Structure 1
Amino acid sequence: MKSLLLSATFLTTFFAVAQSNTISNQPINAKHKTVVYQVFTRLFGNTNTTNKSWGTIEENGVGKFNDFTDKALKEIKDLGVTHIWYTGVPHHAVIRDYSQIGISNDDPEVVKGRAGSPYAVKDYYNVNPDLAVNPANRLQEFEELIARTHKAGLKLIIDIVPNHVARKYEGKNNPIGVRDFGADDDVSLEYHRDNNFYYIPNTRFEIPEGITPLNGELNPLIDGKFDELPAKWTGNGSRLVKPDKNDWYETVKVNYGIRPDGTKDFALLPSGFETKSCQEHFDFWKDKDVPSSWKKFRAIAEYWLAKGVDGFRYDMAEMVPYEFWSYMNSAIKVQRPDAFLLAEVYNPKEYRNYIHLGKMDYLYDKVELYDKLKQIVQGKSLTDPITDIQKGLSDIEHHMLHFLDNHDEQRLASPEFAGSAENGKPLMVVSATISTSPTMIYFGQEVGEAGNENGGFGSHSRTSIFDYVGVPNHQRWMNGGKFDGGKLTPSEKSLRDFYKRVLNFTLKSSALVGDFKEIHSANTTITDGYLPEIYSFVRWSDSEKLIVVVNFSSSKKSQFELIIPNEIIQKWNLKEGNYLIIDQLYQKSQLILKVKNGQGKVKIDMKPSESFIYRLK
């Protein structure tokens, strides 16, 4: 659902700021960058290498909470990580019989895959029973993982999926006083502000055509129907009694007080609130009557914060109105100012609404930097647009989390993306160093996982989130639970070393939370040997000056004399003469920056897919 636009005055101010190439909006008290390690919890500790398509737990194995040992967590932290995102923790629909511990069986006709989608949550007040050694004790096992994570010096986040819940949601672990989703709904109405769902009154839900649950395997619950009367709107907003097979048919849409015609049935934020603090947003909502779903999701967030969770990744946040996020996130921030709040938002026109009005800390930088880097490495774009992206996001660049790999996307090392892990290296350097924003990597990325497996419901190039599978490169790093990389190939060990160097450098560099200026445009037309596949920029603080140069070409080497423009020489207060610059990743390359007539020049010799981060000594 699209949000209202910001005020014209506010947008004019921000777009005026965005016209400058130089970014000087260092966040208050930002001393270093943040690095998030996303891990698909079900897959992390699985050592089984069978990988049978549509395989069961017994055939293909599954990871557990206790696979995150002190040793595993130490290695993750030493990689250069500050936060770990445990993906798929809340109890979601699965095709496995847990009825002995009071969990009802899920109908395979409204579950994707055998292991189920982590974004079809069945009970928000407990965790996935697959992840526990003793499923009856699953919540305590997760609480123990929270404690181990904090002991390792890491903060942790989990998912909240506000837009939709599992078709068969059953809150069997609700705290006292918490009513289940839909428990008080008037199902005779398509819409009521305090209904948790939207309904198609007096009409029974029908299974989509063209789906083959469990790949045709017999199951007593597969009978061509699912008992839902009246039918509810589907998670992606479909109002069909029989959703399409490509709809999110395993989920139902949550109602946040948005009428079927798209108008809002709740108090609106006053003009000017984009500049207000979290406390002021919190105070605004204190005396407001808000829709039932708002209260229920805020209670869920507060429940997990009380357990020790340090923040949340909000799935498809832009399908929920930003007024709700103002209500939710201001309440979180008043309690926990350091909470890490990351949102999945893909509409650039709405970025500033969700940051300034919705009080999000970070959004995915997917449709800007990620998509462009993918096009560049595939030879579908020049590097020049990187500059335009940085200019366009300059006012919010700190809030745009960078990634190259996550559970939704094709693996960086896959043939469908970069073609190899080696080709992905320059993308990683740019992603991690071009802004003050957090960097995120997906487990296995650091050892070149390419997602070659066909799990069943999930297919090649993405590590399946719907099936029980093993992750081969990651398993070689696990080395049977030793977490020492003992089975990695030499190239995989070298790649992990590269990631460790890059990520740890970003954590300690003051320049990377300082200023940015592209120098690419000064070199594209006048520098011999400066290939179209090369990109360069500088970063600096009072104590550190960096020159970053990357070669996106996987086949072309290049020699050229890089120009450092007069503007940068002046900002860095460099006098005429020679200056030593040292590569910060391997400390093997030392070059001379020559400053003459107010301009700097340095001779660069680049191999294919090579990157340099030079520091002025």
Structure 2
Amino acid sequence: MLGMLACEQKVNKKPVLPEMKKKAVVYQVFTRLFGNTNTTNKLWGTIEENGVGKFSDFTPLALNEIRDLGVTHVWYTGVPHHALINDYTDYGISNDDPDVVKGRAGSPYAVKDYYNVNPDLADDPSKRLDEFKALIQRTHEAGMKVIIDIVPNHVARSYEGLTNPNGISDFGAKDDVNKEYDVNNNFYYIPGTKFKVPQWEEAYLPLGGENNALTDHKFKESPAKWTGNGSRLAQPHFNDWYETVKVNYGVRPDGTKDFEELPEGYDAKDNKAHFEFWSDKAIPDSWNKFRDIALYWLNFGVDGFRFDMAEMVPVEFWSYLNSNIKMKNHDAFLLAEVYNPELYRDYIRKGKMDYLYDKVELYDSIKHIMKGYGWTDHIPVVQKGMADIEHHMLHFLENHDEQRIASPDFVGDATLAKPAMVVSATISTSPTMIYFGQEVGEPGAEDAGFGKPTRTSIFDYVGVPHHQRWMNNKKFDGGRLSDDEKKLRGFYKRLLNFTIKSEALMGEYEEIHFYNKDHTESYDHRVLSYVRWSDNEKLIIVSNFDAHKNYEFELKIPEQVIAKWNLPNEEFSLKEELYGQVKTTLLVKNGQGKMDVKLAPLESYIFSIEE
């Protein structure tokens, strides 16, 4: 709420949209889980016991099914080689120490080698880069673009590049470790002090307490480095990001900056101007390292990046990196994890991000409504506060960090998300994102090892049961889904395909919710309505968030909307785009529109005017 109020205090101006004629839909898939058909799900199970998915599981058939769901971009999560507990020494890869690895399969956000990919994902680990390049090609041939993660704030404690391009040195290789800080050091140090592993509680013991030659509660690191979340303790807490070390971007320990800041007015300048600004400046070494990483993957065929915890890295770095990326590929898709609404505009305008997570405003508001204690009244207020940046705020209801909708800790029933999904996907011009398994109601119930259920584990080898039923032994036909799961996926497919084809959803928005609360009987805070339009398409969208109550009312379209649509006083046929079976009309009389609406529990309609 504080963030929303802060937004309203800003001067909101109409955004200038990038060259995107239709909405984008991002399908986030946890790469090592997608194709895994193993259903054992043993607690702390090994790769042999619980199985793992491969790049090769994304067959042309699988990719075509993803595309046909209404997807334009696939975010392959967990591709860069990260620390994990599996023996690949035959391939020249050092073993990782369980004392600084979360889970057995490891966190995808503890990257060990930025110029290679996770060997777990390859049929032949010696050819893992070739296998990923083939996946990129298959994804492109299926008509979708490829996004991978870059984690700029931290790297694995065991970072070790095996296939660095010529002239590229590892993070920290040239650091002066006798200094806590130097502008060109890649890490921060605690000189004269050795690193100590955390003091574990029972639930967080490495490998669940299993005896292992490497689980000796020791990890050699001298001097100790600052931990990824900023902890300056030589012995971080087990709740710290102890498996990672923080990257130094030229920010001194007292918080002052050791680099030039952007001059006033650069928030209104384009990528070329930002690129030129940095071209003659002294750049901290870590900035150049991540520029080289991003350009390497663009050359490899990747189409964009999701930047982890971007707000923990100075906005000037993003100006430098993203302008370099855009000079290489104008159409690169740049998505960042930023949770502080006070930073949104700087990271978009100065940092040149295409998109940020809309978590704190829209997602949190919708979640409260789904859980039964929020009101739809809050959503138009959020949209008003975001009006100047709405295109840049990517919408989602699930991702790897959030609870699964069907988890009892969220709402326990995936169908309760149907009105929320309609609103999330249609209220703005921004991209929509769904997480694999969301479309079949995956509840994230498996206790795989590190951490607890409510979200699908990102740290362990595990099978994803509802998704596996859709996968149906790699037929990718939904053959083992229940009838309800098939209906849910059908709903997602109809909705997402409509959004990527609709011209109006890249056009204008106006809420009609408060007008109807004031003028319409039987309309209340469990219902939401708004209109979207372009020159050639006019939409009326209405959703019922109530799981138990039917609504029947005469929805009114205010005079100012009818005037903007230039509709004469007559009756218009309406086509319902989501289900295609609802027949109704819009009567325009005395400059106001009226239409009869009947909504079953959790039902939404997208009406288009047939002129």
Number of the residue aligned with 1:590: 583
TM-score of the two chains, using structure 2 as the length reference: 0.97
- Counterpart of 1:139? 129
| CA spacing shift, 1:464–1:580, aligned 2, 3 Å | same
User: What secondary structure, in the 3-state scheme, does the structure 2 residue paired with 1:407 have?
Assistant: coil
Residues 349 and 179 of structure 1: CA distance in aligned 2, closer, same or farther (over 3 Å): same
Question: How far apart are the structure 1 equivalents of 2:22 and 2:7?
Answer: 30
Structure 1's 13 and 250: CA in aligned 2 closer, same or farther, altered over 3 A? closer
1:575 & 1:199 partners in 2: Cα distance?
A: 71
Q: d(CA) in 2 for partners of 1:153 and 1:77? A: 7
2:161 corresponding residue in structure 1: 171
Q: Does 1:603 align with 2:596?
A: yes
CA distance in 1 between partners of 2:463 and 2:260 (Å):
48
1:87 pairs with 2:77:
yes
- Which of 48, 51, 64 does residue 54 from structure 2 map onto? 64
Q: Displacement of 1:458 after TM fit?
A: 3.3
- Pairwise CA RMSD: 1.3
Deviations 1:193-214 (A, max 9, x none): 0000000000000111124100
Number of the residue aligned with 1:458: 451
3-state SS of paired residue (1:260)? coil
Deviation at 1:29, TM superposition (A): 3.2
Q: Equivalent residues in 2 for 1:159-558 (5 A)? A: 159-210=149-200, 211-558=204-551
Maintained 8 Å contact 2:8/2:385: no
Aligned residues of 2:295 and 2:328 also touching (Cα < 8 A): no
Q: What is the CA–CA distance in structure 1 between the aligned matches of 2:190 and 2:437, rounded to whole Å? A: 44
Residue by residue over 1:414-472, the C-alpha shift from the partner in whole angstroms, topping out at 9 and shown as x without a partner, is 22223211111001000000000000000011111111111111321100000101111
2:10 aligned counterpart, secondary structure: helix
Contact 1:377 1:423 in 2 (8 A): yes
Q: 3-state DSSP class of the match of 1:329?
A: helix
Pairing partner for 2:100 from 105, 110, 115 = 110
In the TM superposition, residue 14 of structure 1 has moved relative to its aligned partner by 8.9
- Asked if the contact 2:7/2:341 (under 8 Å) is kept, the reply is no
| Map of 1:121 onto structure 2 | 111
SS of corresponding position for 2:414: coil
Equivalent residue, structure 2, for 1:564: 557
Contact 2:189 / 2:225 at 8 angstroms: preserved in 1?
yes
CA deviation digits over 1:269-327, x for unaligned, max 9?
11100011100100111111110000000000011000000010000000000100111
Separation of aligned partners in 2, 1:60 and 1:69: 21
Kindly indicate whether the alpha-carbon contact (under 8 Å) linking 2:7 and 2:385 is maintained by their aligned counterparts in 1. Answer: no
Tell me the CA shift for residue 52 of structure 1.
1.1
* Cα distance change, pair 527–250 in 1 and its aligned pair in 2 (3 A): same
CA gap of 1:28–1:86, structure 2 versus 1, over 3 A, is: closer
The Cα offsets for residues 126-152 of structure 1, whole Å up to 9 and x where unpaired, read as 000100111111111111111111111
CA distance in 1, matches of 2:190, 2:453: 37
Deviates more, 1:114-123 or 1:415-424: 415-424
User: For the Cα contact (< 8 Å) 2:450–2:459, is it kept in 1?
Assistant: yes
Cα distance change on mapping 1:555 and 1:497 into 2, 3 Å? same
State yes or no: 1:33 paired with 2:26: no
* Contact residue 7 and residue 386 of structure 2 kept, 8 A: no
Structure 1 contact 26–436 (Cα < 8 Å) conserved: no
Question: Which deviations, in whole Å up to 9, do the C-alpha atoms of 1:524-572 show, x marking residues without a partner?
Answer: 1331111321010000001010000001111111111111111111111
Check whether the contact 1:26–1:513 (CA below 8 A) recurs between aligned residues: no
What TM-score comes out, normalization by structure 1 length?
Answer: 0.96
Instruction: Write the distance in 1 (CA, Å) between the matches of 2:500 and 2:246.
Output: 40
Question: Is contact 1:96–1:105 with CA below 8 Å preserved after alignment?
Answer: yes
1:398 Cα offset (Å): 0.3
Aligned pairs, number: 602
Rounded Cα–Cα distance in structure 2 between residues aligned with 1:16 and 1:361? 20
| In structure 1, C-alpha distance between the alignment counterparts of 2:525 and 2:358, rounded to whole Å | 23
Q: Which residue of 2 aligns with 1:8?
A: none
Deviation beyond 4 Å, 4+ runs, structure 1: 11-14
**Cα distance in 1 for residues equivalent to 2:38 and 2:193:** 45
State the partner residue of 1:5.
Answer: none
**Cα deviation digits, residues 364-386 of structure 1 (max 9, x gap):** 00100000000011112111110
Q: Give the conservation status (yes or no) of the 8 Å contact 1:45–1:67.
A: yes
Cα distance in 1 between the residues matched to 2:15 and 2:554: 31
